[in-house]
Amino acid sequence: MSAQPNVLLLVPPGWGGLWQTPLSIGGLKVFAHGVDAFDPATIDYAVGFRPPPGLLASLPRLKAVFSLGAGVDGFLLDPQFPKHIPLIRFVDVTLSREMAQYAAMHVLMQHRTVNFFEAAQRDGKWRQRMLPRATEETRVGILGLGEIGTVCAERIRDHGFSVSGWSRTRKHVDGVKSYAGAGELDAFLAQCDFLVCVLPLTPDTRHILNAAAFAKLPKGAYVINIARGGHLNEPDLIAAIDSGHLSGATLDVFETEPLPEGNPIWSHPKIIATPHIAAITHPSAATRSIIDGIAALERGHAPKNVVDMTRGY
Ligand code: NAP
Ligand code: GLV
């Protein structure tokens, strides 16, 4: 690197130290937004999650933006996002594995009827039962067969489930049936006993988990959303569970985060809610990839994992 690039760090208050120290050790001059004074005219790179709208457009020397998350909807929501600048998303094997762990864990918990045995233990009763449905006959569908969805599909397949995935383009993943495009969505939904959403949030996928989609799922299907809250119409989900059509849901992401006090999801007996922790970006992996990415850009190389602005992911 010729001169020391200036980086503006955009992370929630209190989180700066996790990123600032390793990025500085990696040779970058880091200014934490909201903490350090900085001259907007000198910032070369921005790194973070969800910048305040208009901020990035006010940095005249900006060369690239690095997302600390796999999802970049928080950047593209900014109507002034400078779309001529590369937006680089975080792709990481550990992140994908941890998402797959979460998805597989919640499929397995329902499949192995953990609730039933917890209730039996609470009652002090030795209640044996068979699995309600054989593993190979249990169909798990993954919405989104990208970096993370593919690992989710492979891990769940390895547990013996019958796995399929839906994506924009056709995929070839061993033992995973591929459905592609809007024209195959209904056929995909019709064969999902579990539906796991790992799509990016774009105008095309907003509220894709809605009453019409739930009606196409088999009766008793279970929904797992680990993508973004904006994918789910929450009242439609609650109505589909309360009508008995869906058996329940696991939600890690919500339309409003933190999930507001009093939201019916908090107390719904058939919904498991977690606070957007399906996978959290590990600072060591993310700072390494940002340091390497900036070094490559400074040498004039094309960056990896650049978001396609027309697709929105
Ligand atoms: P990715 O590699 O970009 O994959 C996205 C997948 O979605 C691709 O298979 C893509 O199809 C498909 N897709 C996008 N739009 C579609 C559409 N309109 N119709 C059909 N398929 C469509 O993304 P990723 O790295 O797997 O990440 C997925 C999302 O996970 C992120 O955007 C983020 O929101 C979420 N996430 C959540 C957490 C958490 O803790 N809860 C953590 C990490 C990530 P093609 O391959 O055919 O283009
Ligand atoms: C987390 O939600 C991410 O997008 O990485």
Residue to mutate, 281, 282, 313, ligand 2, most ligand atoms under 8 Å from C-beta: 281
The pLDDT value recorded for residue 15 is: 86
The pLDDT value recorded for residue 194 is: 99
Catalytic choice (50, 268, 276, 288):
276
What token pair was written down for 152?
Answer: 């989710």
Ligand positioned closest to the Cα atom of 253: 1
Task: Give the Cα separation of 84 and 96 in Å (integer).
Answer: 28
CATH number of the domain located at residue range(s) 93-273 in this protein: 3.40.50.720
CA of 127 to the centre of ligand 2 (A): 40
DSSP string, 98-145: HHHHHHHHHHHHHHTTHHHHHHHHHHT-------SS-GGG-EEEEE--
CA of 140 to the centre of ligand 1 (A): 17
What token pair was written down for 274?
Answer: 């977690």
Residue 169 Cβ contacting ligand 1 at under 6 Å: yes
Q: Please report, for the chain, the start and end positions of each structural domain, with discontinuous segments joined by +.
A: 6-92+281-298, 93-273
Ligand positioned closest to the Cα atom of 168: 1
Atom of ligand 2 nearest to the CA of 228: 2
The pLDDT value recorded for residue 13 is: 83
Question: Does the annotation count 129 as an active-site position?
Answer: no
Residues 6+ apart with CB under 8 A from 157: 163, 174, 175, 176
120-139 confidence digits (pLDDT tens): 999 999 999 999 999 999 99
Residue to mutate, 198, 306, 311, ligand 1, most ligand atoms under 8 Å from C-beta: 198
The residue whose CA has the least distance to atom 3 of ligand 2 is 69
Residue 281 Cβ contacting ligand 1 at under 6 Å: no
Q: How far is CA 260 from the centre of its chain?
A: 20
The residue whose CA has the least distance to atom 1 of ligand 2 is 69
Task: Give the Cα separation of 25 and 29 in Å (integer).
Answer: 9
Tell me if 6-92+281-298 shares its fold with 93-273. yes
Tell whether pTM > 0.75. yes
8-25 confidence digits (pLDDT tens): 999 988 888 899 999 999
Task: Give the Cα separation of 11 and 17 in Å (integer).
Answer: 10
The residue whose CA has the least distance to atom 42 of ligand 1 is 279
Instruction: Tell me how far CA of residue 309 lies from CA of 50, 85, 88, 109, 121, in angstroms.
Output: 17, 10, 11, 38, 52
Q: Walk along the chain (313 residues) and give the pLDDT tens digit of each residue.
A: 558 999 999 998 888 889 999 999 999 999 999 999 999 999 999 999 999 999 999 999 999 999 999 999 999 999 999 999 999 999 999 999 999 999 999 999 999 999 999 999 999 999 999 999 999 999 999 999 999 999 999 999 999 999 999 999 999 999 999 999 999 999 999 999 999 999 999 999 999 999 999 999 999 999 999 999 999 999 999 999 999 999 999 999 999 999 999 999 999 999 999 999 999 999 999 999 999 999 999 999 999 999 999 999 9
Task: Give the Cα separation of 226 and 213 in Å (integer).
Answer: 17
Does the domain at 6-92+281-298 match CATH 3.40.50.720? Answer given as yes
